[in-house]
Amino acid sequence: MQKALADAPGGQISLTDPGARAMTTSARHGGMVNYNVQTAVGTETHLVVAHEVTNQGFARDQLGPMATAAKEALPRDGLHAIAGKGYFSGAQILACHQAGITTTMPRP
């Protein structure tokens, strides 16, 4: 088991779901073994237009891919993505800008 743990991605093994990872769930450093689900919702229809399930414990790398997927799903030229502070990443904001997507989010 120690060898398997050393070889496992992120140094984690879930005996019930091999793809799941331990993720922090609160400011008290609690955690649960689960997945991270990202969704993009259209403001006019309130329908999910794109989604992604990852086992990354953070959302910083998801802004660009989710905004791009939403832009492809919606019939319009430009897109304005609004996200929470957990998505703040200079590289992701730049990628959105280069794709013609305006982003709005608070700094962490």
pLDDT tens profile 18-60:
777 777 665 566 667 778 889 999 988 999 999 999 877 778 8
Rounded-to-integer distance, Cα 59 and Cα 56, Å: 7
Residues 16, 46: one domain?
no
Q: Which residues are within 8 A (CB) of 48 and not within 5 positions of it... i.e. 6 or more apart?
A: 39, 40, 41
**21 is written with which tokens?**
């990872």
DSSP 10: G
This prediction's pTM: 0.74
Question: Which domain, by its residues, includes 5?
Answer: 1-34
Residues 78, 95: one domain?
yes
**43 is written with which tokens?**
């403001």
Residues 7, 44: one domain?
no
Residues 57, 84: one domain?
yes
Three-state secondary-structure class, residue 66: helix
Residues 42, 76: one domain?
yes
Tally of domains within the chain:
2
Rounded-to-integer distance, Cα 90 and Cα 14, Å: 32
Residues 30, 40: one domain?
no
Residues 53, 89: one domain?
yes
Please state, for a pLDDT cut of 90, what percent of the chain lies above it. Answer: 47
Please state, for a pLDDT cut of 70, what percent of the chain lies above it. Answer: 93
pLDDT of residue 26: 59
Average pLDDT score over residue span 54-67: 87
Q: What are the pLDDT digits (tens) for 11-23?
A: 777 777 777 777 7
Residues 46, 29: one domain?
no
At 68, the pLDDT band (50, 70, 90 cuts) reads very high
Residues 52, 72: one domain?
yes
Residues 78, 27: one domain?
no
